[in-house]
Amino acid sequence: MYNTVVQSVFPSISEVVGHIYLMDTTWLGVIRNDSFQEIVGVITPLRKAIKNRSIEDMEAMYLNMTEQYRAFFAGQEDLDKLISCEHPAYGKLNVPLVELIQHVVNHGTYHRGNITAMLRQLGHKGVPTDYIFYLYADQMNK
């Protein structure tokens, strides 16, 4: 099911999971103030490395990325500080760190919605993707 081709925005659930991972990696580089060239240098080989990875492999990679995000945020004192990122096609953007965090969260939520729709197409029950459901589940697990 993870690699089953469906008619959707992405051809399979595995492609969506890979896309989210690549973009989360990209934005981690941006908020760490890596250059565009440094980020491309990481993403280009990573794009090939995640092809045909199992869902278990991707879960392990996501857990590692979670630790990288945690380490980054542990060192931040001001989430309102301006981050400057530059893209060759879009130019330079100066934006508060907190807004980039919001973007990463929104991006993931959007694509988790894609995955839920794909699961339904494949005959499985979807899951709620709203952040509030995560908060309730997290509270229940404490």
The tokens describing 118, both together, are: 């794909």
- Provide the sign of the torsion angle of the four alpha carbons 21, 25, 30, 32, taken in this order: positive
pLDDT in tens, 3-40: 999 999 999 999 999 999 999 999 999 999 999 999 99
pLDDT in tens, 36-52: 999 999 999 999 999 99
8 A C-beta contact, residue 68 and residue 104: no
Which of the two residues, 1 and 23, has the higher pLDDT score? 23
8 A C-beta contact, residue 61 and residue 21: yes
pLDDT in tens, 73-96: 999 999 999 999 988 899 999 999
The distance of Cα 3 from the centroid of its chain, to the nearest Å, equals 19
Compute and round to an integer the Cα radius of gyration of the chain. 16
CA–CA gap between residue 112 and residue 110 (Å, rounded): 6
* DSSP states along 78-89: -TTSEEEEEETT
pLDDT in tens, 94-105: 999 999 999 999
